[in-house]
């Protein structure tokens, strides 16, 4: 790719303009200097900066630009030369693309379900990469044929990274017990929700492993929270604004634990895109706002909950022994139907993983199996 000659007048002032990805960009000297990729400035193995960028003079200037094939050499007023590849500079200045533009925002008719087979995942990194990509795009994956053993879900988690340890430990039971310390540990129905919004950070992913599920009832229900949020944004902008603007409190307590966190029911990133939903009828509380604000909030939450429970947006399934439901806890709303004591048993084992752990494993595998790197990063 030919390098457009730098603007002499701009270079005279110590800055440089280059044509990158078809657009003329004026690049700040300090921005260039602290990104120098040479061995003096950056560790070869880790890619971490060796240069003390905080100590660079604020009046650092570019004095010369040299094209060396696919390399652009930037010379600074202290005599240092930074060798940049053109593709590296273009990648650095490229605007962020629409994150997750290939996400599947699904409804009740989603078919086929995103599935994977544990014996294959256990041995095949390409299959694991495909499973993690499906998880990124759909917010859940059903992994089949895990051994029906108490801690077998740890083997699946171990193919990805370390578990998130909580006050409940690593792998915990999900079954009805006497004197339950959490409503999950009863036979009652659980309305669609996200797990543990009272934690900081909220667990990124849930692994729910079925050991037994032969009681009457107990079916799982799943709703795509991003689909619901985008439907609300389109159909009821005022409700969407309320639920993105009001921060709720989430709280969990038992004899040994007090957990508190805050956040909106629908959270947006810096570009206005939905990045997380929080719905927890059991643990949320709204502050004592003025009456008009609360009127708008309760109406908006009612509208959101109606969409979450809309049969057209809700997928039902019954887990069988050896199934593992892997869920994105920022996006997926999950619940269950009540089940009848005395008709059988429902015993699940569950663990959590942090978001960065799962995302890191997916991106590392993408280096091998995706020609262009890691999508959705």
CB 154 within 8 A of CB 163: yes
Fold of 8-93: NE0471 N-terminal domain-like (3.30.2020)
User: Residue 7: what pLDDT?
Assistant: 66
Q: Which residues of 92-121 are buried (b: 16+ CB within 10 A; e: fewer)?
A: eeeeeeeebeebebbbeebeeebebebebb
Mean pLDDT, residues 208-216 taken together: 95
Q: What pTM value is reported for the model? A: 0.87
CA torsion sign for 179, 185, 189, 194 is positive
Per-residue pLDDT of 31-88, as tens digits, reads 999 999 999 999 999 999 999 999 999 999 999 998 888 899 999 999 999 999 988 8
Q: How confident is the model at residue 6 (pLDDT cuts 50, 70, 90)?
A: low
User: Residue 272: what pLDDT?
Assistant: 93
Rounded distance between C-alpha atoms, residue 135 and residue 132, angstroms: 5
User: Residue 375: what pLDDT?
Assistant: 46
Question: Is the bond leading into 254 cis (omega within 30 degrees of zero)?
Answer: no
- Asked whether residue 374 carries a pLDDT value surpassing 50, the answer given is no
Q: Which element (helix H / strand E) includes 318?
A: none
Per-residue pLDDT of 174-185, as tens digits, reads 987 766 666 777
Rounded distance between C-alpha atoms, residue 65 and residue 27, angstroms: 12
Q: Which element (helix H / strand E) includes 317?
A: strand 314-317
- Rounded to 5 degrees, φ, ψ at 88 are -65, -45
Per-residue pLDDT of 95-125, as tens digits, reads 665 555 789 999 999 999 999 999 999 999 9
Task: Write down the residue that tokens 């929700």 correspond to.
Answer: 193
CB 333 within 8 A of CB 277: yes
Q: How confident is the model at residue 9 (pLDDT cuts 50, 70, 90)?
A: low
Q: How confident is the model at residue 3 (pLDDT cuts 50, 70, 90)?
A: low
Mean pLDDT, residues 233-244 taken together: 98
Choose among 6, 33, 29, 1: nearest CA to 17.
6
- Asked whether residue 186 carries a pLDDT value surpassing 90, the answer given is no
Helix ranges, the chain (H): 8-12, 29-33, 86-93, 118-121, 125-138, 153-158, 225-235, 237-245, 291-308, 355-369
User: Residue 364: what pLDDT?
Assistant: 96
CB 115 within 8 A of CB 141: yes
Task: Write down the residue that tokens 């590392």 correspond to.
Answer: 364
Rounded distance between C-alpha atoms, residue 93 and residue 74, angstroms: 16
Q: Any residues with CB less than 8 A from the CB of 288 and at least 6 apart, and which?
A: none
Beta strand pairing status for 115-117 and 140-144?
Answer: parallel
Fold of 115-369: Double-stranded beta-helix (3.60.130)
Rounded distance between C-alpha atoms, residue 224 and residue 110, angstroms: 11
Rounded distance between C-alpha atoms, residue 208 and residue 344, angstroms: 19
Going from N- to C-terminal start, the domains of the chain cover: 8-93, 115-369
- Asked whether residue 11 carries a pLDDT value surpassing 80, the answer given is no
CB 296 within 8 A of CB 189: no
Polymer length in residues for the chain: 377
């Amino acid at each position: 790719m030919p390098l457009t000659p730098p603007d002499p007048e701009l270079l005279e002032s110590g800055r440089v303009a280059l044509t990158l990805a078809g657009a003329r960009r004026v690049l700040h000297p300090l921005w260039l200097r602290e990104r120098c990729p040479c061995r003096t400035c950056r560790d070869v193995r880790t890619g971490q900066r060796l240069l003390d960028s905080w100590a660079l003079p604020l009046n650092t200037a570019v004095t010369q630009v040299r094209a060396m094939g696919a390399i652009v050499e930037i010379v600074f007023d202290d005599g240092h030369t930074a060798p940049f590849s053109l593709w590296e500079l273009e990648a650095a200045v490229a605007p962020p693309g629409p994150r997750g533009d290939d996400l599947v925002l699904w409804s009740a008719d989603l078919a086929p379900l995103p599935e994977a087979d544990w014996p294959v995942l256990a041995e095949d990194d390409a299959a694991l990469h495909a499973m993690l990509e499906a998880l990124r795009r759909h917010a859940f994956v059903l992994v089949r044929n895990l051994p029906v053993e108490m801690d077998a879900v740890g083997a699946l988690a171990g193919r990805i990274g370390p578990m998130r340890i909580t006050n409940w430990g690593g792998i915990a039971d999900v079954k009805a017990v006497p004197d339950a310390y959490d409503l999950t540990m009863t036979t009652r129905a659980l309305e669609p929700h996200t797990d543990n919004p009272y934690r900081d950070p909220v667990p990124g992913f849930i692994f729910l492993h079925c050991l037994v599920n032969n009681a009457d009832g107990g079916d799982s229900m799943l709703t795509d929270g991003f689909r619901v949020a985008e439907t609300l944004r389109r159909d009821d902008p005022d409700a969407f604004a309320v639920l993105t603007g009001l921060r709720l409190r989430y709280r969990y307590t038992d004899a040994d634990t007090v957990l508190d966190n805050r956040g909106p029911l629908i959270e947006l990133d810096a570009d206005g895109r939905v990045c997380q939903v929080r719905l927890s009828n059991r643990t949320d509380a709204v502050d004592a706002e003025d009456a008009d604000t609360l009127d708008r909030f309760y109406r908006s939450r009612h509208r959101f909950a109606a969409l979450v429970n809309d049969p057209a947006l809700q997928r039902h399934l019954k887990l069988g022994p050896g199934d593992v439901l892997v869920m994105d806890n920022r996006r997926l709303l999950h619940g269950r139907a009540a089940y009848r004591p005395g008709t059988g048993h429902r015993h699940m084992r569950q663990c959590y993983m942090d978001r960065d752990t799962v995302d890191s494993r997916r991106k590392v595998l993408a280096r091998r199996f995706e020609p262009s790197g890691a999508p959705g990063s």
